[in-house]
Amino acid sequence: MPNITSAEKNGHIGHFVKLQPGEKVLLCRCYKSATFPLCDLVHQKHEGTFGPLVVEALKEAEPQPTRQPSRPG
Ligand code: FES
């Protein structure tokens, strides 16, 4: 279960979501969820194209692709 906290700063509320390795959450982007900031799928009942933001924590550190240095053309 993700750890979700909220904090207000300068009149704006921020949400902080901490995930365990391998956890996945759907974050609401339509602002109609009763469980905001989590998506409760209520967006499916409203017009518009917004769906959730899917965030998934890696199970373990995955190797990052290495960048090749650019060569002068
Ligand atoms: S309920 Fe808002 S995006 Fe799903």
> In the prediction, which pLDDT does 73 show?
60
Which tokens go with 33? 């969820």
- Report the alpha-carbon distance of residue 3 to residue 11 in Å, rounded: 23
Q: pLDDT tens-digit profile of 7-36?
A: 999 999 999 999 999 999 999 999 999 999
The DSSP element (H or E) to which 14 belongs, if any, is: strand 12-18
Pocket test for ligand 1, best of 39, 45, 49 (most atoms within 8 A of CB): 39
CATH of 19-57, one of 1.20.120, 3.30.200, 3.40.5, 2.40.128: 3.40.5
- Report the alpha-carbon distance of residue 24 to residue 55 in Å, rounded: 6
Whether residue 68 is predicted with pLDDT greater than 90 in this model: the reply is no
**What band does 63 get if pLDDT is binned at 50, 70 and 90?**
confident
Whether residue 40 is predicted with pLDDT greater than 70 in this model: the reply is yes
Measure 49 CA to ligand 1 centroid, in angstroms.
10
Which tokens go with 5? 């906290």
Pocket of ligand 1, beta carbon within 6 A: 28-30, 32-33, 39-43, 50-52
